Structure 1
Amino acid sequence: MDLGALAGRARRIHTRCRHRRLGAGERVSARARSALRRRHIPGHAGHVHDHPPRARCLGELARHLLHVHHRHLRRLGRRRFGQRAPQARPCARDARRGTEVRARPVMSVLVVDVGTSGLRAAIVTPDGEVAALHYRAFPPSSPFPGMVEFDAPGMAAAVLEVAHAALAQSGPVVAVGITAQRASAIVWDRATGEPVGPGIGWQDLRTVFDCITLKAEHGLHLAPNQSATKVAWLLNTFDPGRERDLCFGTVDSWVAWVLSRGEVHVTDHSNAAVTGLLKPDASGWSSSACAALNIPERMLPRLVDTSGVFGTAHALPGAPPLASLVGDQQGSLIGQSCVHPGMAKITFGTGGMLDMCTDAAAPTTGNRTPEGIFPIVAWSRDGRCTWGVEAIMLSAGTNVEWLVQDLGILASPAESHDVAAQCTSTDGVMYVPALMGLGTPHWDYGARGTLLGLTRGSGRAQITRAVLEGVAHRGADLVDAAEAGSGRSVPLLRVDGGMSVNPTFVQALADASGKPVEVSRHTEATTIGAAYLAGLAVGVWGSLDDIALAWKPSHVVTPGARLDRDRWAEAVERSRRWIPDLSALDF
């Protein structure tokens, strides 16, 4: 049938519908549609259902107007002569009627998430669920004790591999979000895109003495886990004369460069604020810090909003817009819908990180507060920074790995719950998880792991429970410090990370903190947060309030018997200053 015949048929059906009073005014109300759903066939986008007789008439026409080609739909009557056909998603078949239904427009977001030991790409759907997840292990190397390096070109190849795999499985997306480990440093040639040396991981300690010297000579408070001294080391090693046209970037900057094929050299405020090179109020790069380290400002990335389109992913199919950059911990904060002041999350991975949204005024200094916490940029949007605070636990899951890999009393970390559940208390055994020192609020690098209260009756069940409770006590320490330093009360805690799936640990955290604990559905909420931020930029989600309402914890754990916090404080004091020279370090 040609188009002229189809047009005539359409006029005849329209006339019959008009005589039968089946126009738009006769459609059922929105309230009635749900009750009548079984009687109606899906009609227009948004699942608006037509009156049944009219639907049957229009269905007769639709069977001729809709052509199925390679399992895709094309609407012939909606194109002008010479106009390209719009792309459509594969059609679905209505099981009740046998009619073919056009899929809704694509509104999913691709997220590239680069962690310390591996990276992933995943598709996040508008309902906040994760699909098409592809993971690639990518651990750093340690050529000497205290040195942590990674292969930046290898990272770029792995990012492209997992991103292409996710898109091949899911189809097109409306935007791309990027989240990554913070403060790791990469320096590369602007013209060729080739790194001048290894990427230096955030855990790397080769610049400890540089930090001490800078504090004494320039009054700069820099820690070795920040980017600043790592960049200076790379320049001093590979471009001592500062003659080359180089780019510096944290991992998020590098991934954006790779996905845009060198078109954008950017970072956002959440990542820039932990480099040690940003002004305390996040208004721009610090000229004084760059001068002290002899870092040319021309090599620094351009600052962009955490949420906002800043480039195009030319390296990916369809060239979707790049719409968010966010540090991993801030991504987790937003991924757990902590978008209003006083809301906090803790991520329990190898270490533990508490982040709280405060929305306070910009700080006058980026230094550690007397409570042992740090100001952070939680996110930036529409040119405005939203501030927060961060508290740090140097070792969390590492302590459970110690039970498995070194003591050998557990077969796997997951077994810690079952073993700890064999006893209802530790029978007086207490463990301070200070294998790498103590972070917030003490910041004692010379503290060491301490196991107290052992008797002849202490077994692996008591020791395992003591380790889990010790990490929970440290989590409560972070909450106390964040509340004291911010002046805000935390009504409840949200948690993610590997330890969040351990019921014994989560109950101990609720008992130690005295607060309800809401457990994230996703152990890696960072991915969700990056998707929310990218989706905000392109209209998948309309506002931060939409993100707040999207929170659906897997379950909530309420406090039971309160753990002995006074006894805990005594144990912590015994663990401190074990190595005096390290305890004397203060960055």
Structure 2
Amino acid sequence: MDDYILALDQGTTSSRAVLFDAAGRVAGCAQHDIRQIFPQPGWVEHNPNELWHSQLTAAREVLERCDVSATQVRAIGLANQRETTILWDRASGQPLMNAIVWQDRRTAAYCDALRRDGYQSLIGEKTGLVIDAYFSASKLKWMLDHVPGARQRASRGELAFGTVDSWLVYKLSGAHVTDASNASRTMLFNIHTGRWDEELLALFDIQAAVMPEIVDSSGHIATASANLLGCAIPITGIAGDQQAATFGQACHQRGSAKNTIGTGSFLLMNVGDVPAPSANQLLTTVGWRLRGRTTHLIEGSVFMAGATLQWLRDGLGIVNDVSQVEQLAGMVADADGVVLVPAFSGLGAPHWDPYARGTLLGLHRGSTRHHIARAALDGIAYQTVDVLRAIEADSGVALRELRVDGGGARSDLLLQLLADALGIPVLRPVNIETTALGAAQLAGLGAGLWEGIEELESHWQVERCFTPATCADRRAWAMSRWHDAVSRSVAWATS
């Protein structure tokens, strides 16, 4: 009988279930979209029960499509949208309100007050994070403050908090746990002690009784109930989606890095056993914890990657479909002096300027939609260079290659521009959906299907290597123009 690993990949817009065989190959997948709920401007929510039912349905469907019995599934691995916050009743298993999604900004003013009161140093040193509404702590505080009776019930141990991984494991098994990678995204986890931090819990007025147990990212975590999929199945792997993608990209060694190009762009470098503090406003986070040993990552995020191409479609109307951007941009040799800074939602790492605004410079009578499309792809590449240079400065490691995944990695032109801008090879794997692969690998290790990390190297294979085709002088000139455009983007917002 063949062994399979079932990876559950619960994301911001969909729940996916991917079945992997014992060689780490995809046997099949199923996917269900989930609703985005916007109660008012700046608020983003999900229905926790919808997350659960969509994920369970996808799991059942992939087993049926592949004609695989649950008895053939060796283990379940989870990857999840990070920071999204859920609070539920321990006895009934019902959420007290909708989940507050990582994108939600309702607690931004509270986070501003924390910074004004001088807490950035304390929080940064303990958690490796910047103070921001992005993370779970302020979201959980908001729930406890605004749901009637919640704080009193939390004190009595009647409520449970969790990010999406905790919620799914609870619904699958009844266990209340989270892994170290997800814990490190809450702004309540001390990356030096590996535990919930009492001082931070007190700062946010959060009762320790609501917090989940922190477990390794791989190993026996819980057991899914037999009545859900047909038999009891061990849950042996958990990681936040970007950490899972980093693991799935085989970035197991210090100095290896990956870039997931989706709506935004997430860049993470393995910095080894010791958390590396950032001097460039990047995030130090747990990558995974295996057999009690923690691997740390430095992370930088770009707000507008694929979303920039969506703007070309929806805002400018120069394409009917995002897939047309590459063809349009490829019809000219370069952007002919046009520079697009896609700061439509401010600038992310390493600038962290929420007031910067999108800027289009260098237009002349000969400029066409082809040049603007090319400038949009250039802008994605240049933002990536800025983040990776900051990561190199923080880590003290010069990047030798960059592994890429996500929907944007399908664009040959974008990856060539990225290689040209970075001056290093950019590697696209055969399987660009590495989040589910990473979850499956962690689960397979935890279940004993694979012996160790070295065995997983064969699961990662290069589909194409993009090598730099421009000289260092040209690269420096292009980045100089880019930084000049960024300065104008920032100045426009403050003028």
Fold shared per TM-score above 0.5: yes
2:208 aligned with 1:291: no
- In structure 2, the partner of 1:356 is 269
Question: Could you report, residue by residue, the CA deviation over 1:300-350 in whole angstroms, capped at 9, with x for unpaired residues?
Answer: 000000111111011322211000110000111011111111110000101
Per the TM alignment, residue 461 of structure 1 is displaced from its structure 2 partner at its CA by 0.7
2:260 partner SS = strand
Q: Contact between 1:519 and 1:553, CA under 8 Å: does it hold in 2? A: yes
1:554 partner SS = strand
Per the TM alignment, residue 401 of structure 1 is displaced from its structure 2 partner at its CA by 0.2
Q: Contact between 2:273 and 2:294, CA under 8 Å: does it hold in 1? A: no
2:103 aligned with 1:203: yes
Which of 372, 375, 398 is the aligned partner of 1:466? 375
Q: Contact between 2:191 and 2:286, CA under 8 Å: does it hold in 1? A: no
2:285 partner SS = strand
- In structure 2, the partner of 1:272 is 183
- In structure 2, the partner of 1:320 is 233
Which of 162, 172, 175 is the aligned partner of 1:259? 172
Q: Contact between 2:430 and 2:460, CA under 8 Å: does it hold in 1? A: no
- In structure 1, the partner of 2:487 is 573
Question: Could you report, residue by residue, the CA deviation over 1:251-301 in whole angstroms, capped at 9, with x for unpaired residues?
Answer: 1111111111x2x11001111101001013152101111112211101000
2:443 aligned with 1:545: no
Which of 144, 169, 184 is the aligned partner of 2:65? 169
- In structure 2, the partner of 1:64 is none
Q: Contact between 2:180 and 2:194, CA under 8 Å: does it hold in 1? A: no
- In structure 2, the partner of 1:478 is 387
AA in 2 matched with 1:129: R
Task: Tell me the distance in 2 between the aligned counterparts of 1:543 and 1:472.
Answer: 35
TM-score, normalised relative to structure 1: 0.78
Percent of pairs with identical residues = 38
Q: Contact between 1:360 and 1:388, CA under 8 Å: does it hold in 2? A: no
Q: Contact between 2:346 and 2:356, CA under 8 Å: does it hold in 1? A: yes
- In structure 2, the partner of 1:140 is 36
CA spacing shift, 1:427–1:530, aligned 2, 3 Å: same
- In structure 2, the partner of 1:305 is 216
Which of 47, 52, 57 is the aligned partner of 1:151? 47
Q: Contact between 2:191 and 2:285, CA under 8 Å: does it hold in 1? A: no
Which of 190, 194, 199 is the aligned partner of 2:94? 194
AA in 1 matched with 2:382: H
Count matched residues.
471
1:578 partner SS = helix
Q: Contact between 2:275 and 2:285, CA under 8 Å: does it hold in 1? A: no
Question: Could you report, residue by residue, the CA deviation over 1:21-55 in whole angstroms, capped at 9, with x for unpaired residues?
Answer: xxxxxxxxxxxxxxxxxxxxxxxxxxxxxxxxxxx
Q: Which residues of structure 2 form unaligned runs of 5+?
A: 124-130
Question: Could you report, residue by residue, the CA deviation over 1:470-518 in whole angstroms, capped at 9, with x for unpaired residues?
Answer: 1011111121111111111211000011111011111100000011010
- In structure 2, the partner of 1:248 is 161
Task: Tell me the distance in 1 between the aligned counterparts of 2:243 and 2:99.
Answer: 22
Structure with higher RCO (Cα < 8 A, 6+ apart) = 2
Question: Could you report, residue by residue, the CA deviation over 1:123-179 in whole angstroms, capped at 9, with x for unpaired residues?
Answer: 012222222200001132112110000100111111111111112233221000000
Task: Tell me the distance in 1 between the aligned counterparts of 2:162 and 2:435.
Answer: 20
Question: Could you report, residue by residue, the CA deviation over 1:333-385 in whole angstroms, capped at 9, with x for unpaired residues?
Answer: 0111111111100001011110111104145x7xxx22221111110010111
Per the TM alignment, residue 218 of structure 1 is displaced from its structure 2 partner at its CA by 6.6
Moved more, 243-252 or 276-285: 276-285
CA spacing shift, 1:578–1:308, aligned 2, 3 Å: farther
Q: Contact between 2:288 and 2:295, CA under 8 Å: does it hold in 1? A: yes
Q: Contact between 1:269 and 1:282, CA under 8 Å: does it hold in 2? A: no
Question: Could you report, residue by residue, the CA deviation over 1:158-206 in whole angstroms, capped at 9, with x for unpaired residues?
Answer: 1111111112233221000000010000000000000001100000000
Q: Contact between 1:259 and 1:316, CA under 8 Å: does it hold in 2? A: no
Task: Tell me the distance in 2 between the aligned counterparts of 1:439 and 1:385.
Answer: 27
- In structure 2, the partner of 1:58 is none
AA in 2 matched with 1:302: E
Per the TM alignment, residue 548 of structure 1 is displaced from its structure 2 partner at its CA by 2.6
Per the TM alignment, residue 429 of structure 1 is displaced from its structure 2 partner at its CA by 0.6
Q: Contact between 1:532 and 1:547, CA under 8 Å: does it hold in 2? A: yes
- In structure 2, the partner of 1:231 is 140
4+ long deviations beyond 4 Å: none
2:241 aligned with 1:332: no
Q: Contact between 2:177 and 2:214, CA under 8 Å: does it hold in 1? A: yes
AA in 1 matched with 2:198: S
Q: Which residues of structure 1 form unaligned runs of 5+?
A: 1-104, 582-587
1:560 partner SS = coil
Larger Rg: 1
AA in 1 matched with 2:11: G
2:350 aligned with 1:437: no
